[in-house]
Chain A
Amino acid sequence: MYDIKALYEAESLDHAVRLLQEHPSAQILAGGSDVLVQVREGRRAGVELVSIYMLDELRGVSIDEEENIRIGSLTSFSHITNDPIIQKYINVLGEAVDMVGGPQIRAIGTIGGNTCNGVTSADSASTLMAWDAVMEVTGPEGVRRVPIKDWYIKAKVVDLRPAEIQTAILIPKESYEGCFGHYIKYSMRNALDIATTGCSVNVRLSEDKKTFDRVRIGYGVAAPVPVRAYTAEEFIQGKEITDENIKEFAETVLKDINPRDSWRAGRALRRHISVVMAERALRESISLAGGVVNG
């Protein structure tokens, strides 16, 4: 039994926006795998909910006319993992969301919910960060796009204005073409867990596969919100694929991350693991891209 004051079921996107305007304190309900847990814990007891879960137009993965990969915000984690477009162009995202919770959560949980709750540990977030995703938001004033680097305002707060709904996540062609990536989730058990820290790396190699054309690296739980390690990225751009460069890249991430110290995990452990993950995720990405270290 859940302490819910009211549940409004949206019949269309316009209707959802109107419901949110009519009930300004209402919480959007998608898969419910976060919201209902919070209601049960009492954190959102007595909540008003606007459910968008029946809006099938917000589901599915496609390539749009601008050649962006377009992921509807209600697309479930298990759908993303099994989607052929994702597998072809950004397989790492499918792998990352396959590490969320357990099979039941992955069947109900949505990528929109995973990025709108503003949580730094979200398994999709570091990969979307590292692939320069763009959030499509629909509200009373129409549609706007927010680059993911501007999306996270602070812990648990994202750039969603009143009555706005995230409707899709876009990966621009420039961001995915020729890129290969790898995600490492570091958690205390191999399923049903939240990341202690997580790291997603992707690379685009030079044509001869000797140098890094572009490397991007995103982290979860390395700061209050998902972050990029730009200093490390800048360091390695154009450099040769050598052990030395990889190691320096990995240690350089410490300049941009700021993990917290808590009873869940110490700051020192998270910093240490962040460096190890950077090196390993980079090596795996190089390998996926057909590169050879010290080749």
Chain B
Amino acid sequence: MSKEILGQAVTRLDARDKAMGRIKYTDDLCDKGALVIRVLHSTVANGIVKKIDTSEAEKIPGVVRVFTCFDIKEKHYFPTAGHPWSTDPHHQDIADRLVMTDRPLFYGDDIGAVVAEDEVAAAQAIRVLEKSVEYEELPFVLDAQEAMKEGAPLLHEDFPNNVLTHTEIHMGSVEEAIKEPGLTKVEGWYHTQPVQHCHIENFICYAYGEGDRTVVVSSTQIPHIARRVIGQALGMDWGKFRVIKPYVGGGFGNKQDVLYEPLCAWISIQMGGRLVKLDVPREETFICNRIRHEIKYHITSWMRPDGSFAARTMKAWVNNGAYSSHGHAIAAKGLNAFPQLYPCDNIDGETWTVYTNRSVAGAMRGYGMPQASYAFECHAEDCARAMKMDPLEFRRKNLMPVGYYHAFSKNELYSDTFNQCFDKGAEIIGYYDKVKEYANQTGDIRRGIAVSTYWYNTAVYPIALETSSCRIVMNQDGSVQFQLGETEIGQGADTVAAQMISDTLGIPLDMVHPVSCQDTDVTPFGTGVYASRGTYTLGFSIKQTALLLKQKVLEAANQFTRMPVYNLDIVDGNIIRTTDGRKLMTIGELALEKLYTTEGSQHLTAESTYQIRSNAYSFGCCFAEVEVDIPMCRVRLLNIVNVHDCGQVINPMLASGQIHGGQSMGIGYALSEKLLWDAKTGKPLNNNLLDYKMSSFMDHPRLVADFVENYEPTSAYGTKGLGEPPVCPVAPAIRNAIGQATGLYINELPLSPHTLFREFTDAGLINDSFAE
């Protein structure tokens, strides 16, 4: 049975309830008598709030209270990043937020809040209040490199030149290495754009008083971290808060920041524990939550005639927006990946995380790696072309070799993952035939095909704490409930966890029930889901806890079967005597007897924590085939194939779903999505789902996902990360395919008609006689 349940495409456990509309999300759970909160946002990109006249807003029928930044009497600055806390002050996230501020640093910063009986009254009050704020406007800066210049507006006093952090790496000597004769130098600028997560369920939370505590129900990836941050933000003991996480309609990292839980809790407390709900509208989700960092990369490589690297350098400027959020972690991840993906003895790298007066960038699926992959894989393609090598062969030659060991993370590449993924993907899409067929095309409509890869790992060890806790409780019929700190946010964590428990405990899947909603009063401590850690980290605590429970069950079975524990096992829900395979009793009979026996009644349960001190590389690739309509300045994606090695696949259907979702996000990133701000005012221009061109169903070809399964030796169940990797290689694969089709290798995202029109015009590919 163990072989059957792991690797099976079982239907996700919540599918039926979701399809039937029975699942309760945060808003479904909130009592309809809740007062509603709307946040008053800054309408200047940098300034000082001098005064907010609330008198007109307070007169609006249905408006209950108006709070402003001037109502904050004690200023408790808090960090928002959903990182595990560190008791070492040097490893703590920067505490730079207030629940409301009189010093707005971006258009959309939180300067006040309205509490009203309904959304209409709240919206009316916000419209009135927006006209009642007096600002002292200050100059602002939107671009990272501009923000570093002397004389640029300074956002945070402790960070000269707006540099949050600057780090470097040096290996060997680039200066010496480039003296080698016969080297070919390739350099390029690679520029990625800011985008947003666009999860279906916007951020929402509600809060109310209970006893001397405040309960916050929140659509979050990180309930235990949220409780800590609420305590920090309000200057109160963390135990004064209870955070409940219901089903979540998508997070993608945006809900790995603590967004509005502190404000909501603060308002509830100010109002004597009244039930208040803060449901963020889509327009505010775009600009007042988190976005993906815009990054400008500059990469130079020196190659020997055989196509190997002699030396490489990279620089990256990371636009972090107005507050720290995840700080330098995103930039550092790209810097860390640079020498690993294409190892080379001589490397210089440096990166700056820079404050600007823009929406705050934070965690978003891929955590800096979609940007880095774009830069690295555009550059790899450029290097291959410069050396007149096939781009795929160039990668095979230069990528991280099997056996590569990274001393800091202790990651090791155990298998020939890259080549196996390339081989499988090339076969599925017909790469080698098409790459020949599409060479040297002319005409208006041309096709191209290309491949890209990426660097990724699974979890956050050794940068931050990795811990996972699990509790399993057995019922009278032998079925179990389990609880984990790793949250179900739509990715299917509950289902793969149940498959693992079924496997280790030896009971059928339909006897394993997740307690899906985390509640910090009840759920064992865990830091939630982020990185691509869930299936990896929860596996450790599940296996450890399930084995503990199994031991208790077998010890109980000894009482009723008289057989020694070492001759017993649980198979398919039965207590088995291993010596002859005889079924002695069912797990249900055993559980019933053990609970109701008059001699040693026991509630069968187990709970444990495992601290994970390993991490795992998770690699793969994307092949993209495009058709470029040159006069129309449009790209049609004909085929896309991702192949990933995420170790043993626990559930191929859910794993494929992760890939499909990543491909979809990657397609929008490559071709259409970009958040825009007005250069004159700093105001966001397209913070809605019409003007922001997230790709639709109709923009996708059939999304093809496949796997190479190399059992991960460090892992409890052979798994490694898959949540984020699929998005990483998509944009560079599409860029490189457009390059093959047109000869134009464009170093900017998105590759939208706007960009293509400019590039095609400059290259003389389209007739510019219509220009005025």
Q: A146 near B: Cβ within 8 Å?
A: no
- Chain B residues with CB under 8 A of A2: 120
Query: Does B753 contact A188, Cβ atoms closer than 8 Å?
Result: yes
Query: Does A269 contact B633, Cβ atoms closer than 8 Å?
Result: yes
Report if A190-B698 is in contact (Cβ < 8 Å); known contacts: A264-B691, A269-B633.
yes
Q: A88 near B: Cβ within 8 Å?
A: no
- Chain A residues with CB under 8 A of B124: 3, 45
Min CB gap A77→B, angstroms: 16
- Chain B residues with CB under 8 A of A276: 631-632
User: Chain B, 654-669, contact with A by CB distance < 8 Å: what is the 0/1 string?
Assistant: 0000000000000000
Q: A193 near B: Cβ within 8 Å?
A: yes
The residue that B633 contacts in the complex, of A264, A271, A273, with Cβ under 8 A, is: A273
User: Chain B, 481-501, contact with A by CB distance < 8 Å: what is the 0/1 string?
Assistant: 000000000000000000000
- Chain B residues with CB under 8 A of A9: none
The residue that A275 contacts in the complex, of B690, B754, B757, B770, with Cβ under 8 A, is: B770
Query: Does A272 contact B698, Cβ atoms closer than 8 Å?
Result: no
- Chain A residues with CB under 8 A of B769: 251
Q: A186 near B: Cβ within 8 Å?
A: yes
User: Chain B, 729-772, contact with A by CB distance < 8 Å: what is the 0/1 string?
Assistant: 00000000000000000000000111001000100001111111
* Interface of B toward A, CB cutoff 8 Å: 118-120, 123-124, 127, 631-633, 672, 676, 678, 685-686, 689-691, 693-699, 752-754, 757, 761, 766-772
Query: Does B770 contact A189, Cβ atoms closer than 8 Å?
Result: no
Min CB gap B59→A, angstroms: 15
| Secondary structure of the B contact surface, majority rule | loop
Query: Does B633 contact A193, Cβ atoms closer than 8 Å?
Result: no
Mind listing 21 A-B residue pairs with CB under 8 Å?
Answer: A1-B118, A42-B127, A45-B123, A102-B696, A188-B672, A189-B693, A189-B695, A189-B699, A190-B696, A191-B696, A191-B699, A192-B690, A192-B696, A194-B690, A263-B686, A265-B754, A266-B757, A268-B770, A273-B632, A276-B631, A276-B632
Q: A254 near B: Cβ within 8 Å?
A: yes
Interface centre among B119, B127, B672, B770 (most CB of A within 10 A): B770
Residues from 33 to 48 in A contacting B, C-beta threshold 8 Å:
42, 45
CA distance A42 to B119 in the complex (A): 12
Among all A-B residue pairs, the 9 with the closest Cβ atoms = A190-B698, A191-B698, A191-B696, A1-B119, A276-B631, A188-B693, A3-B120, A269-B757, A271-B770
Min CB gap A37→B, angstroms: 9
* Interface of A toward B, CB cutoff 8 Å: 1-3, 42, 45, 102, 186, 188-194, 196, 251, 254, 263-269, 271-273, 275-276
- Chain A residues with CB under 8 A of B754: 265-266, 269
Min CB gap B613→A, angstroms: 45
- Chain B residues with CB under 8 A of A3: 120, 123-124
CA distance A14 to B766 in the complex (A): 56
Min CB gap A161→B, angstroms: 31
Query: Does B752 contact A272, Cβ atoms closer than 8 Å?
Result: no
- Chain A residues with CB under 8 A of B676: 263
Query: Does B696 contact A269, Cβ atoms closer than 8 Å?
Result: no
CA distance A265 to B690 in the complex (A): 14
The residue that B690 contacts in the complex, of A193, A263, A271, with Cβ under 8 A, is: A193
Min CB gap A241→B, angstroms: 20
Shortest Cβ distance from A265 into B: residue? B754
Min CB gap A246→B, angstroms: 14
- Chain B residues with CB under 8 A of A191: 696-699
CA distance A187 to B691 in the complex (A): 11
Min CB gap B572→A, angstroms: 46
Query: Does A193 contact B693, Cβ atoms closer than 8 Å?
Result: yes
The residue that B766 contacts in the complex, of A1, A189, A272, with Cβ under 8 A, is: A272
Query: Does B698 contact A254, Cβ atoms closer than 8 Å?
Result: no
Shortest Cβ distance from B630 into A: residue? A276
Report if A263-B127 is in contact (Cβ < 8 Å); known contacts: A189-B693, A191-B697, A194-B690.
no
Min CB gap A254→B, angstroms: 6
- Chain A residues with CB under 8 A of B695: 189
Query: Does B757 contact A189, Cβ atoms closer than 8 Å?
Result: no
Query: Does A272 contact B757, Cβ atoms closer than 8 Å?
Result: yes
CA distance A102 to B696 in the complex (A): 10
- Chain B residues with CB under 8 A of A251: 769-770
Min CB gap A223→B, angstroms: 15
CA distance A192 to B696 in the complex (A): 8
Shortest Cβ distance from B686 into A: residue? A263
- Chain B residues with CB under 8 A of A186: 632
- Chain B residues with CB under 8 A of A268: 757, 761, 770-772
CA distance A279 to B127 in the complex (A): 47
Query: Does B127 contact A45, Cβ atoms closer than 8 Å?
Result: yes
- Chain A residues with CB under 8 A of B678: 263
CA distance A276 to B685 in the complex (A): 28
CA distance A253 to B632 in the complex (A): 17
Query: Does B698 contact A189, Cβ atoms closer than 8 Å?
Result: yes
Query: Does A188 contact B752, Cβ atoms closer than 8 Å?
Result: yes
CA distance A267 to B770 in the complex (A): 11
- Chain A residues with CB under 8 A of B772: 267-268, 271
Interface centre among A1, A3, A272, A273 (most CB of B within 10 A): A272
